[in-house]
A and B are shown apart, each in its own frame.
Chain A
Amino acid sequence: MMSTLKPRHPLYLLVVWCVLLTAGVVEARVGGGESYSGSRSSSGGSSSGHSGHSSGDVFVILRLIVDLIQLHAHHPRLAIVIDCVLVGLIIFYFNSRDDQAESFSSQSPRREIVSDRQPIHERFDAWRKYDPNFSEHLFFDFVMGLYANAHMARGKRQIAAYSPFLSPEARQSLAKMAPPELAEVSGVIVGALHVIDVALPGPMLRVRMKFEANYVEKTQDGKEHTWYAVEEWSFSRERDLLSKPPGKLQSNNCPNCGAGLELNPNGSCKYCQMVVKAGSLDWGVDAITLVGREQRGPQLTTTVEDVGRDEPTVFQPNLGAARTRFMEINADFALPVFLDRVKHIFRELQKAWSSRQWDLARPYETDAIFQTHRYWIEAYRKQDLRNVLDDVKVEQIKLVRFGKDAFYDSITCRIFASMIDYVEDAKGKVVRGDKKTPTKFSEYWTFIRSRRATQCQQPNQNCPNCGAALKVNMAGECAYCGSKITNGDFDWVLSRIEQDEAYSG
């Protein structure tokens, strides 16, 4: 594309200043040595009594320009420095104006952009240029598994066994959380996983995550304490590695050979004899910060108003193109069938939540989000509370994003719904909410499905693989055919729920 020199183009400005600079000097040096004869301005007293009048300001500016030109003749070196500074400022000014110019496209609807909520997906997309196998879903599953394994290892004083995944600093931080009387850590459940920061790809890929979790610590005298902890973990990995496929990215296996994680005294793997440094072959934890922990559980009786329902929907910027591409690749995808699946999962999850029988939700959620929800179910149970959800109605479903990585397709929907939502204690007294007035709200739900899967022909109440009545164990496997149906291999499953104010696209 031709690049034309527009009047405000930095190169144009540079040329203009160079001409101004050299014109004065050339006259003074070349062609006979004529000296510049512009009269020197007297310092001080030249501008007086002009404040408050615009014509006076213009006079001052013109005077400054004349002085600057004269400076070229008398003090050219100083003038060059001033010129460079001025040119740099002008270029910076125009460049910053260009950055602020908004672009407009008729293809995608405009949305309010909150400056501090850059879509995480865009950062992960930048990572995929170096690691095309990178999958957010697999990565989140991995970090949650590593978190649980690391804490359980802390209880057994076997933190060193995870040295391929934990840097020395991270191991030290974990060791500090293990008092001498600690005997065991169990029941680790991650209630929420937040991505704090995703760095742009450099020689290392870096991401910081925040965990809200609970676990049970058992001391040597047999006493158990449940802790609700908030921790920040920093992960990093060499950039030029190819992520492992599903099933291979696990924190219980050697990152080099894939065998079970067993180390020799010198820190090398028992099977491949390799000493793996955290982050060199797979994700490693650089640092762990305990933000806080307490024995008191989350506040479940405080009413939190849903304020995001009226916010405009955040659509993917190129939604039309992404949707078309998805439909072309998945020719057997039927939108009405998918929407039925979404409504079915929505209703089943609310039912399971109300009854605190969370195993009813197992067939419809990935491992990660199932664990997350278990955290909250357990929190309610411990406080003898029940969050009742009745008269669930799905009002509208908007498709907002079509995503994909090497292994999964994902569709994010904004679900507008209403329900009777209240919390009652063991005696049936309502401690939060209203038994009569429905609450209206909306949330962004992300569903994933394996890219190898095709349109499921089984009804939602049956196993998507064998068609038997749906009965799933805690590992997400069908009781009849043994297939793991919760990883999206056969049908759409829920992977993530985000609130309106937290969703950034």
Chain B
Amino acid sequence: MGVDRVDRLVLFCFTTTTVAIVGMAFDYWQLVYYSIPVLTALFMLMAALNRREEWSRPVVVGVAVFGGVMLTLFVAGNVALHTDGRIGGLPVATAVFLYAIWPVTTVAAPLLFAWAYHKWLRHDVEDAETGSVVS
């Protein structure tokens, strides 16, 4: 049995999750922190595969852009963690979460799904609309 795309993605998920576990167990918060955008992008990439394990190039680019934006915001939050400035009444790192990461992930991520579904994933379920159920 050869190694396919899902195998590789599962390997990446395994590695990222293991790294996160090390951070959780030995108090390296950065390892846990950065596992969040990485795992999110990996799961979205896995879900962007159709039943024949094919990707749509525009959808992969869309997921990569979203993952990149999320990672950038996480880096910004990290860099600003111990600064003294304030944005919108909050310390900068908290402001990055409350005014940027929260709204971006709440709105952009589901919009990305709606676009990916319309563009690509819906073709995967069209044949399920007809025919009878198997017990």
Q: Do the two shown chains form a genuine complex with each other?
A: no
